[in-house]
Amino acid sequence: MNTRLRSPLDKAGRILLAAFLLFCALFAFIPFVYMFLLSLTQSKSLYFNMGDLSFDFLNYLRVFRNTNFLSALKNSMIVTGSACILNCVLSSMAAYGFAKKKFPGNRLLFRIYLTTLMIPGQVTLIPVFAIMKNIGLLNTYPALSLIIVNAFGVFLIHQFMENVPDELLEAAKIDGCPEFQIFFRIVIPLIRPVLVSLTIFTFITSWNDFIWPLVIVTNSKMNTLTLELSLLKGQFATNYGLVMAGSTLSFIFPFILYILLQKQFVEGIALSGIKG
């Protein structure tokens, strides 16, 4: 690769360094392997030995049979799916409005959007709960997915709107293309890369969200995966295999997606963090 940057390390040093970094990577990854292996055992202790392994996936069956995990899986999928769609549609609409339409108050409103990014959700936990309760949204899918939508997506897409040339929009308008078709047929395809990033970011935020479901859900039928997982530990304290089976189940979907879309994941999550 870029040999010019190579510092004057000899071969032995490089091997040593490679080994050290491998150790770091293993340290990050091994706990997940441990989690999976433990989920395949029935032992009541954490001392792990290969002999305990059995590939009958009994713990997984038990998790489905004895807890709400299956409905939690369904709930998480519905909530996360609708959060992703909502966030992408609403945010790209707003970003397009801010970037390409001139109207009084445009800049002021955008500044208000940016300001709300500074407000952490934990601060508004109580009033949002009160509002949700008063409009009867507790224990509903809309509440769980709407809460994920915030100004961040608008901010992210707004930066990307420069890639949409004004001339193209003008030309479409002159050709008599109706306004909303301009948006769906021209703008959306042009901002697709950033929508992929936003979808992944929203997916991870919503799938891993804990504090909002904890507050909004009071009926166990509506539990999301993270909620169910947090209960599992209390219910089956020493049944480690079972708890780890639940953990593995909650992790499997993000993990598969990560394997498939690694590059987009890293961009979507890590570089999205660089906000305002």
Partner 1 sequence: MSAAHMFVEYAADLYRSCLLTAAYFTSLAPAIFYRKGVFHLNAKNKDALYGYLYILPSFLLLLIFSIIPIFLSVYFSFTEYNVIQSPTWVGLNNYIRMLKDPFVTAALKNTVIYTLISVPLQTILSLVIAALIAGEFRNTYGNFLKSAMFVPVISSAILVGTLWGLMLTTDGGLINNVLALFGIGQINWLGSIKTSLISVCITAVWKNIGYFLVIFYAGILDIPSSHYEASKVDGASGWQQFWYITIPQLKPITYLVITLGMIWSFQVFDLVYVMTGGGPGKSTTTLVLYIYTTAFREYSMGYASSIAFLMFIVIILLNSLQNLLFRERN
Which residue, among 186, 168, 196, has the nearest Cα to 266 in the 3D structure? Answer: 196
Q: Is residue 19 involved in binding partner 1 (CB under 8 A)?
A: no
Exactly one of 85, 126, 168, 171 binds partner 1 (CB under 8 A); that residue is 126
117-153 b/e (C-beta count within 10 Å ≥ 16 → b): eeeeeeeeeeebeeebeeeebbbbeebbbbbbbbbbb
**Judged by CB under 8 A, does residue 190 bind partner 1?**
no
Under the binding rule (CB under 8 A), the answer on residue 255 touching partner 1 is yes
Q: How far is the CB of 54 from partner 1 (least distance, A)?
A: 19
7 in contact with partner 1 (CB under 8 A): yes
271 binds partner 1 (CB under 8 A): yes
Question: Which of 163, 165, 211, 235: binder of partner 1 (CB under 8 A)?
Answer: 211
Nearer to partner 1, 31 or 193 (CB): 31
Q: Which of residues 41-70 bind partner 1 (CB under 8 A)?
A: 45-48
Select the residue interacting with partner 1 from 6, 11, 65, 107 (CB under 8 A).
Answer: 6
Q: Which region among 63-71, 77-85, 188-196, 238-246 touches partner 1 (by CB under 8 A)?
A: 238-246
| CB of 45 or CB of 56, closer to partner 1 | 45
Distance, in Å, from the CA atom of 161 to the CA atom of 53, rounded to the nearest integer, reads 53
Stretch in the footprint of partner 1 (CB under 8 A) among 53-61, 64-72, 77-85, 254-262: 254-262
Q: How far is it, in rounded angstroms, from Cα 197 to Cα 265? A: 7
- How many residues bind partner 1 (CB under 8 A)? The answer is 98
CA dihedral for 196, 197, 199, 204, sign (positive or negative): positive
Give the footprint of partner 1 on residues 94-123 (CB under 8 A): 94, 96-98, 101-104, 106, 109, 112-113, 116, 118-120, 122-123
Name which of 61, 68, 43, 48 is nearest 240 in CA terms: 43
* 167-186: contacts with partner 1 (CB under 8 A): 179, 183
- Residue in 5, 108, 174, 260 binding partner 1, rule: CB under 8 A: 5
The answer for residues whose C-beta is within 8 angstroms of residue 181's C-beta and 6 or more apart is: none
Name the residue among 137, 272, 157 with its Cα closest to residue 204. Answer: 272
Which one of 146, 161, 195, 242 is in contact with partner 1 (CB under 8 A)? 146
Q: Which tokens hold the place of 64?
A: 């489905």
Shortest distance (Å) from residue 45 CB to partner 1? 5
Please list, residue by residue across 68-80, b when 16 or more beta carbons sit within 10 angstroms of its beta carbon and e when fewer do.
bbebbbebbeebb
Q: How near is the Cβ of 216 to partner 1 at its closest, in Å?
A: 11
- Please report whether residue 78 would count as binding partner 1 according to CB under 8 A: no
- Contacts by residues 129-136 (CB-CB < 8 Å, ≥ 24 positions apart): 129/215, 129/216, 132/216
